[in-house]
Amino acid sequence: MQSLASIPGIRSAGAEGGGSNVFFQPQGQPAAQPGQEPTASYKIVTRDFFKTMGTRMVAGREFSARDGEGTPPVAIVSETVARRYWPNESPVGSHLTLLVRVYSWQSAGAAQPLEIVGVVKDVRNDDLWNPEADVYVPLEQHPASSVFLVVRTAGAPMAIVTAVREAVVALDKEQPLNDIRTMSDIISQIYGAIRFPMTLLWIFAALALVLSAVGIFGVMSYTCQSTDARNGDSHGPGSKRPRRSGAGVARSAGRNSIRSGARFAGGAGPQSRDDRLCLRNKTD
């Protein structure tokens, strides 16, 4: 990681391995039946992984140089794990024991309690609404056969691909480096299927609002025109029928729509002439 971080244009670098789910036993919790133990995503990371990914620490500390081979094993948990198994206290300083991997039923390592040294913000990988329960362990204490490299750059991300590839080859000529993508590309691929139906939903909602407004305007305009015609016919011989322009009717309909809504919301209030005109046919 030091060689990658020293490349011009790279601000920090990290790696992540593991990724499988594991059963674990939280300290202070009653032992569950076999196969019903708490589960979490088991992630093996380097010291600067959280810094590189921009994952903020909530409590405790990140992994450091003192968390190496031969030192007491440690772990960092996500907020979901902390809330679920230590709801009324901080898990920092407590312990958990990794049991077996969920899918392979292989041992997750020596059944030695891991001291929880920190809590990080939840990460949403495949589900936007439900964060994962994660348990992180340092790579120096849990070697992984394969890892994902992550780098944070100061400029265009793809501009440093050649330098990163050369740094990896310098360490191991047989080590392949493929599937290089930016975080924006990964997010677009995961959540791209959600954006299209959500956009359609907003379009149809806006269309429904416009159609509702046009319908209310039309009904009020028709009501006012019908009332005007009745009032004109009720005058005596020789009297002039009151006339209204289309714009006047439209303005009256708009005002009456607002006043009607106000009466529904706050009770009936004083009525204007236009208000009485449109509502008179109800009492005649």
Strands 114-120 and 57-60: antiparallel
Is the distance from CB of 180 to CB of 161 less than 8 angstroms? yes
- Residue 213 in 3-state DSSP? helix
**Which of these ranges, 134-138, 153-157, 187-191, 198-202, has the smallest mean pLDDT?**
187-191
Say what the pTM is: 0.64
**Residues 269-284 pLDDT 10s:** 444 444 444 444 444 4
DSSP H/E element including 165: helix 161-171
**Residues 101-121 pLDDT 10s:** 554 444 455 567 899 999 999
CB contact set of 102 (below 8 Å; sequence gap of 6+): 20, 21, 22, 23, 39
Is the distance from CB of 16 to CB of 92 less than 8 angstroms? no
Query: Which of the four pLDDT bands, split at 50, 70 and 90, describes residue 250?
Result: very low
Cα torsion 247, 252, 254, 260 to 10°: value is: -170
Is the distance from CB of 38 to CB of 23 less than 8 angstroms? yes
Q: How far apart are CA 133 and CA 124, in angstroms?
A: 10
